[in-house]
Structure 1
Amino acid sequence: MANNVIPPHQHGFTPGRSCSTQLLLAMNDCTKVLGDGHSVDTLYFDFAKAFDSVLHNRLISKLQGCGISGKLLAWVRNFLEQKVVLNSYTSYRSSVKNPHGFGEYVIDGTAITSCDVVKDLGIMIDNQLKFHDHTTTVAKKANRLLAVICKTFQYFDHTTFINLYKSYIRPVLEYGNIIWEPQYILDQEQIEKIQRRATKLVQGLQNCTYNDRLTALNLPSLKYRRLHGDMIMFYQLLHSHFSLDTSDLFTTTTLSTTRGHNYKLFKPRAASRVRSTFSLYEPSMAGTVYPIT
């Protein structure tokens, strides 16, 4: 990025950025436009076949012409020689189609197929930004993993369960949840049900209530962890832990009459459901403030 080789919109494999930050900015742009009553159309490109058909020598020459050399160029050459192809490519401004009036795009005489749900960096994004499909997909995947664990292990003490659950199940339930945090009770229960079922596997806790099982295992509910994760993300954004311009995400209040620290946030009025349920605002909705540390 310092040599202007990597564009500023790149989030993968760059310090201070991640898939979550990319999707966070994309969803912020998308919900803001939809909240203003406009439509959003997004084009997704899959370069898997095209990338593998490119002449590698020509690609290397073009990279050298862009100023890429040394270890980075050698890494790209090794990458190509090993015939590892990219599964997909998603542009920075990825978001979702507006549910009203899909338009048809044509490139070089080929019509682009529209869809109601698309997978973007592991998140199933639907055309209404309700994330029902993603919640269902995540729950099914977690249930399959839990079934495999049950077939592999016959006995679960506290330590064994915690290690397996935190390593294999919970990461699936929490990946990117700053983006898709369920806003509907049915979706929240669908996700929480996985942990309810899993905690019953522990020897001696089968007949205990869910809250008692959580207390015995020192586990919080998944809903609490989502809120906690939102607060951590908000804090990191507010204190510039990410190399992002956050001016378009939120602003601090300019009122001089407020007491305490200078990190009280201004929450803009949301004119639509998609904007009001945008998970970035959840911590502020919960009344959370962030003192200077």
Structure 2
Amino acid sequence: MKFNKAKCKVLHMGQHTVKYNYRLGGEWMESSPGKKDKGVLIDEGNNMSWQCAFALQKANSILGYIKKQHDQQVQGGDSAPLLCSGETHLEYCVQLWGPQYKKDMEVLERVQRRATKMIRGLEHLSYEDRLRELGLFILEKRRLQRDLTAAFQYLKGPTRNLERDSLSGSVVTGQWVMGLN
């Protein structure tokens, strides 16, 4: 496969950086205000509101699809497994793009609120009770838990055998940590 120089662009990160011109071979490279890579939108100002809006749009479309399918069923089953696919868009690479502003956090939390309300038998419960019933936490706590897990894995380093960490009460397998609390 040939290297396509025309698709290469420069993304200047930071607000006060000098925007140098770069060459690739004999051609000058274009500058780009933002880039989508591995499903994450990154812009030159490191503002993650675009990524929050993108994740929100994806999760809402999945929840809309689930609701449409669920309404068409004569014998409705439990939607909880299906809702996980909508929530993964809210948490995909969240360590990289985690929401920076309160407004973004609230908008993403509303999607989870809507998703838990779609589960039969839980519609009448409050949001906190629905989360408790499903064994979930609010998204902010889940982001914090993932950050702490990533920090623990970084500090602990990869391990091959199953061992129990006496401080956290977690089981470490391979490079993944599972809480047992």
Normalised-by-shorter TM-score class: 0.7 to 0.9
Residue 62 (structure 2) pairs with residue 110 (structure 1): no
Alignment of 1:34-49 (within 5 A): none
Would you say the 8 A contact 1:97–1:116 is kept in 2?
no
For the residues of structure 2 that align with 1:144 and 1:169, how far apart are their CA atoms? 8
The SS at the match of 1:153 is helix
> Following TM superposition, by how much is the alpha carbon of 1:174 offset from its aligned partner in structure 2, in angstroms?
1.0
Shift of 1:105: 2.2
Higher relative contact order (CA 8 A, sep 6+): 1
Q: Give 5+ residue unaligned stretches, structure 2.
A: 160-166, 168-181
Q: CA deviation at 1:196?
A: 0.8
Identity %: 31
Q: 1:96 to 1:153 in 2, by over 3 A?
A: farther
Separation in 2, partners of 1:230, 1:108: 40
Who is 2:56 aligned against?
Answer: 139
1:111 Cα offset (Å) = 2.9
In 2, Cα distance between equivalents of 1:180 and 1:230:
12
Contact map agreement 1:105 1:112 (CA 8 A) in 2: yes
**How many angstroms apart in 2 are the aligned matches of 1:96 and 1:223?**
30
| Alignment counterpart, residue 178 of structure 1, candidates 76, 88, 95 | 95
- Whether 2:115 is the aligned partner of 1:163: answer no
Alignment of 1:1-293 (within 5 A): 50=2, 97-100=13-16, 101-154=18-71, 160-166=78-84, 168-241=85-158
Query: Aligned equivalents of 2:21 and 2:11: distance in 1?
Result: 17
- Aligned partners of 2:119, 2:80: CA distance in 1, in Å? 9
Cα shift at 1:96: 5.4
- Once the two structures are superposed, what CA deviation does each residue of 1:182-207 show, in whole Å capped at 9, x if it has no partner? 12101111211110111111223334
Mapped contact 1:96–1:125 kept (Cα < 8 A): no
CA–CA distance in 2 between the matches of 1:171 and 1:207?
A: 25
Aligned residue pairs total 154
Kept in 1, the 8 Å contact 2:11–2:35? The answer is no
* Counterpart-to-counterpart distance in 2, 1:227 and 1:146: 24
Q: Normalization by structure 2: what TM-score?
A: 0.72
User: Aligned-residue CA RMSD in angstroms?
Assistant: 3.0
Deviation at 1:139, TM superposition (A): 0.7
CA 1:220–1:96 in structure 2 vs 1: closer, same or farther (change >3 Å)? farther
Q: What is the distance in 1 between the residues matched to 2:113 and 2:95?
A: 22
Contact 2:35–2:43 (CA under 8 A) maintained in structure 1: yes
Deviations 1:235-287 (Å, cap 9, x if unpaired)?
A: 10001128xxxxxxxxxxxxxxxxxx9xxxxxxxxxxxxxxxxxxxxxxxxxx
Between the aligned partners of 1:129 and 1:145, the Cα distance in structure 2 is 27
